[in-house]
Chain A
Amino acid sequence: MTTRLYDLAHARAGDKGDVSMISVIAYRAEDYPLLVEALTAAVVARFFEALGLTRVERFELPTLGALNFVLHGALRGGVTRSLALDAHGKTLSSSLLSIEIDLPGTGLAREGMEPTQC
C-alpha cells in the first residue's frame, strides 16, 4: 500500500551551482519516522533519474521532523548554463511531493534496494 508524499509533507527547493537541495518536512511529527524509512536517498535518486543526477545525499533532522536531500548534477550545469525553463529547479520540490511512498509493513524501500512498484 502506498500514500502520496504530498499528503504527509511539504517541501522547498533551493540551488547552488549544479546542485539542487530539496527539503521534505512532515506536517505531523508522528509521520517523520515513516519518511525516514520510506523516502531514502535511493528512492529520491530513482524518482529524479531523468535529470541525470550524479549523486544524492540525505540529511536527517529529527528535531524539525524533516529530511534534506542534496541532488548533485541535477541542474544541467546550473542556473547560469542550463537551457531548462526552470533553470533553478525551483519546481522540483512540488514534483517530488507527487511521489507515492510505501507505508510500513508493505514492502519498505531501503537504501540500496530497488524501490517496490505498486
Chain B
Amino acid sequence: MKTIRIGAGAGFSGDRIEPAVELVEHGRLDYLVFECLAERTIALAQQAKRKNPAGGYDPLLEARMRAVLPGCHRQGVRIISNMGAANPIAAARRVIEIARELGLTGLKVAALTGDDVLDLALDENPMLLTGGGRVADIGRDHILSANAYLGADGIVDALGRGADVVIAGRVADPSLFLGPLMHAFGWRPDDWDLLGRGVLVGHLLECAGQLSGGYFADPGVKPVPGLARLGFPYAEVSSDGAAAVSKAPGSGGRIDLSTVKEQLLYELSDPSAYVTPDVTADFSNVRLEQIGPDAVGLSGAGGRPAPDQLKVSVGYLDGYTGEGQIAYAGVQAAERGRLALEIVRERLALTGVAVEELRSELIGIDAIFQGADGDASYTPREVRARIAGRCATLQAAHAIGAEVEALYTNGPAGGGGVTRSASAVVAIASTLLPRDRIRPRIDMEVA
C-alpha cells in the first residue's frame, strides 16, 4: 500500500526553525507543512498590508524559506503553509525571489487566495456566532478583515498543478495536512471516513512540537528528554488513512500514548464532531498503539459530511488596553503589593481616567486563577502587582501604566521593576457564510 510522509515544520508563527531543517534532512519527508496563523494574525497582517501593499505576510517567511528550500528542493519535499497571512500573492512572490537567489530554478510556487471575504461579509451581513448581533453591528470603521477558513480543495488543486510550494492565507489548520493526503491518494471530497482519518493526522501535527513532547514536561512526573533540541513530528500515512506519528531519530522529545492523547484532545469540544471545512471528523473511537520507540500508530477515526457553511473570522478594533506591573519582595511583600493596587485604583478615579473594565492582581498569588484553590496562609517572598484596564482611548490606556510607574516615588516601600504598556485591541468575532459563495483561487509562478 502506498504511504507518504508529512512533517510539521512549525506550530505557530514564532516557532523554532532548526527542527524543520532537521526533519527535512532526516525525516524522509514527502511534504512539509508550516502552520503559522493564530486567530488574530490575519487582522494584524491586514493592518501591515495597508501600510505596505507588499507586506502583510509572516515575518519569518524569508528565514524559514532560506533554511528549508535548498533541502526540500534537493529531496523533492513539497511545502504547504499559511504564512501568506493577509497577502499570499506577495509572500509567494518573495519565495520566488528567494528561490532564484538560491539558484533553485524551476521551483513552482502557488499563491492560494479566496479566503478574504470582507466584501461578502459586509454584503451578506450574517449573524455573529456569539452576542446576538450582525457583522454590521461591529461598525464598518472598526472592521479590519474577514477571512473564511478554506478547506483542503485549493491545496489539492495547487498540488495537482505541480506546485512545489503552496502559500495560503487562512485555511483550516488540519486542512493544510489533509490537502496533500487527498492529492497523493486521490481521496474524493466525499470519502468521509478517509477525510476524517486525514484530519486526525492534521490535528495531531498542526501544533508541531506539542505532539512530540513539547508542552508536556513536569519534572520528575512527566519527564521529556532534550526539550532544547525538541524534534518536530511527522506522520507516515497509508492510502487507507491508517497512520503512525514519529519524530526525527536522535532528536529531543518523546512520542508515546500520553503525549499523543494530550494533543488528540487539544482544543477539542465534542470529540465525535470535530467540524472542519472538509469533513466533520469523529475522534471518539480513536485507538492508539505504541509501535516502536517514539512511534505511535493511529486508527479508528471516522467522518461525516462537511458543513454547508464556512466559518469566518472578522477582525476588528475594540478599544485599547493599558497595563502596569511592579514587584515587591521580603516581609509583607503581598501586603505592599495590595496597597499598590489600591493606590492605582484610587488614582485612576481621582484623576478621572475613563476605564471600562479594570483588573488587578498579585502575580504569585491570584493572577492566574482567582478563587477556589487559594491558601490564605501562603506568604510569598516576592510578588508582582499587576493592573490592566480596557479604555476607549489610547491616552486613558497609557494612564494606567503611568500611575503604576508613579508608585516608584509615591507608592509603598520597596517597589521595583516597573513595566508598562498600552495598545489597541484587535478582537475577533466569528460568523458563517455559505461555502458556495467562497472560491479558492490559485496563482502560479515559476522561479
A interface list, Cβ under 8 A from B: 10-12, 14-19, 21, 23, 25, 27, 46-51, 57, 59, 61, 63-66, 68, 70, 78-81, 83-86, 91-92, 95, 98-99
Contacts and interface: CB of A to CB of B under 8 A. Distances in A.
Contacts of A70: 269-270
Contacts of B287: 63
A23 B266 contact: yes
B184 interface: no
B290 interface: no
A17 B431 CA distance: 12
A81 B425 contact: yes
B409 interface: no
Contacts of B267: 14-16, 21
Given A57-B270, A85-B361, A95-B368, 17 more contacts: A14-B267, A14-B268, A23-B262, A23-B265, A47-B373, A50-B372, A57-B269, A63-B285, A79-B39, A81-B425, A83-B321, A83-B323, A83-B357, A83-B390, A85-B367, A86-B368, A99-B373
Given A50-B369, A50-B370, A12 B215 contact: yes
Contacts of B288: 64
Interface of B: 39-40, 129-130, 215, 218, 222, 258, 261-272, 284-288, 300, 318, 321, 323, 357-359, 361, 363, 367-373, 386, 388-390, 425-428, 430
Contacts of B373: 47, 95, 98-99
B371 A25 contact: no
Contacts of B286: 63-64
A25 B430 CA distance: 30
Contacts, number: 117
Given A63-B286, A85-B367, A92-B369, A17 B130 contact: yes
Nearest to B318: A81
A42 B141 CA distance: 43
B268 A18 contact: no
A16 B269 CA distance: 9
A115 B270 CA distance: 25
Contacts of B215: 12
Contact of A17 (B265, B363, B430): B430
In the A-B complex, the 3 residue pairs with the smallest Cβ-Cβ separation, listed nearest first, are A50-B371, A14-B267, A23-B265
Contacts of B367: 85-86
A64 B390 contact: no
Contacts of A99: 373
A94 to B, nearest CB: 8
A11 to B, nearest CB: 8
A47 B218 CA distance: 22
A47 B373 CA distance: 8
Given A50-B371, A66-B261, A83 B363 contact: no
Given A61-B284, A83-B359, A78 B369 contact: no
A59 B262 contact: no
A14 B372 contact: no
13 contacts: A17-B130, A25-B261, A51-B371, A57-B270, A59-B270, A63-B284, A70-B269, A80-B39, A84-B359, A85-B361, A85-B388, A86-B367, A95-B369
A91 B371 contact: no
A64 B372 contact: no
Given A51-B371, A85-B368, A91-B368, A25 B258 contact: yes
